[in-house]
Amino acid sequence: MPTKKDNLKGRVESLNYEALRSKPGDSFNYANMNYNILGLVIQEVTDTSYEDYMHKHFLKPLHMDHAFFKTDKQQAAKAQGYVLEGRDVKANDPDYFRGDTPAAYLISSTTDLIPFVKMNLQPSASNQALIKQSHTLLTDVPDKSHMNGYGAGWFIDQYSNQVLHPGTLPNYSSMIILDTKYQNAVILLANLNAPGLPDLAQTLLYQIEHYQNFTALHQTAADNLVLLTITLWWVILMFTVLCAACIRNSYLLKQHRHLNKSSWLNKLSTSLTVLIIIGLLYSAWVMPSWLLKDASWSIAFSVFPPVVLLIGISSLLTLILSVLYFNSCILLKSNRPKL
C-alpha cells in the first residue's frame, strides 16, 4: 500500500520535522532531497505533475524519445540491474518511491543523453545564460579529487575545465563528464553500482583528448619493441644483481655490532640517500606526464603499453636499489676496522 511519502509532496513534507545538520552556508552536503524540493516547486507552480512537465518542456524538445519515468504508461526496454553479494552478481530490483523521482529516477540511454550533453556544451542563445550559471562554481567540495567544487546541479573540477556528475542506485550507476574547454564529453551508464565508473570516465576522456599522442606512443613502442624488450631484460638483470648486493651488504653491516653512527660521513651519506630517494619517488609520481601530457598513474595503467610501464617501474626500483647499495658501501668502508 503506497504511503504518503510515496508521492512527491508527501516526500518533501517528511522534512518538516527534520533538524538541520549544519547552519546554511557553513558546509557542503550533497542531498538528493534538494532536487525533490525543486521537483515539487515545478509541480506546484505549473499545476501539472513533475513527470508530465519534464516530458513536455525538457525531454520532447531535446528529442530524448526513449527516456521515461517509472510512472509512464509507455516504457522502453530496460536493462536489468544487478548488485554484488560477495563474489556473486545477482539481479536486483529495489523498492521504488515515486517521491524520489526528481532526484534519481529518469531512465535513459547514452544515445538519448547526447542532446542533453550538446545543450550543455553548445547552448542556444536562449539557454546560454542558464547553462553558464549552472557551470559556475558556487561552493567548494572537500575530499573529492575530480569534484572539488559545486555549481547549480553540477560538480566542477576547477583545474581541468570539467563539469561532471555521478549517479548511484543500489543496482545502477552513471557518470557524465563535460570538458567545456575542448567541447568533449563522456557518458557512462552501468546496470551495476560500479565504484570505478568515475575513473573509467576520466580515462576515456583523456584518451579522446590525447588520442594523437596516445596513438603515437603505442606506435613508437611497437616500432621499437625489440629494443624495449632488451632494455627491460637489462634493467631486470641490474635490479637482480643490485638486490643481491644490497642483501650482502646488509648482512655485513649487521656483523658490525657497533656502527660509528656519529661519523660525519655516515650522517652525510644517509641524509643524501634519503633526499635522493624522496626525489626519485617524486619523479615516479610525475613520470607518466613525461610521456603523455597530464597523464596520471591511473591513466598510465589503463593506456600505456605494458613494456613501457614495466621499464619505467623496474628502472625506478633499480635506481632506488643503486642509491641504497652505494650508501651501504660507504657505511661499510667508514666502519671497517683499522689495522
User: pLDDT tens digits for 87-100?
Assistant: 888 998 877 788 88
Rounded to the nearest integer, the mean pLDDT of the chain is 87
pLDDT (mean) for 241-249: 92
Is residue 259's pLDDT more than 60? no
Nearest to 156 by CA among 143, 168, 141, 142: 141
Q: What is the pLDDT of residue 85?
A: 85
Q: Check residue 12 and give left, alpha or beta (phi > 0: left; psi -120 to 50: alpha).
A: alpha
Whole-model pTM above 0.85?
A: no
Distances (CA, A) of 103 to 39, 100, 114, 121, 235: 8, 5, 20, 23, 54
Is residue 339's pLDDT more than 70? no
Contact present, 80 and 33 (Cβ < 8 Å): no
Measure the CA–CA gap between 334 and 12, rounded to whole angstroms: 76
Is residue 54's pLDDT more than 90? yes
Least confident of 48-57, 158-167, 171-180, 330-339: 330-339
Measure the CA–CA gap between 170 and 85, rounded to whole angstroms: 11
Check residues 36 and 23 and name the one with the higher pLDDT.
36
Q: What is the pLDDT of residue 257?
A: 56
DSSP 224-272: THHHHHHHHHHHHHHHHHHHHHHHHHHHHHHH-SS--TT-HHHHHHHHH
Q: What is the pLDDT of residue 336?
A: 62
Measure the CA–CA gap between 31 and 258, rounded to whole angstroms: 63
Residue appearing with cell numbers 661499510: 332
State in Å, rounded, how far the first CA of the chain is from the last one: 95
Give residue-wise pLDDT tens across range 33-53.
889 999 999 999 999 999 999
Q: Compute the radius of gyration of the chain from its Cα atoms.
A: 29
Contact present, 295 and 206 (Cβ < 8 Å): yes
Q: What is the pLDDT of residue 4?
A: 55
Burial class for 258, CB neighbours closer than 10 Å (0-12, 13-18, 19+): exposed
Q: What is the DSSP letter of 29?
A: -
Contact present, 208 and 186 (Cβ < 8 Å): yes
Contact present, 179 and 101 (Cβ < 8 Å): no
Measure the CA–CA gap between 186 and 201, rounded to whole angstroms: 6
pLDDT (mean) for 313-339: 83
DSSP 32-64: THHHHHHHHHHHHHHTS-HHHHHIIIIITTTT-
Give residue-wise pLDDT tens across range 290-308.
888 878 888 888 888 999 9
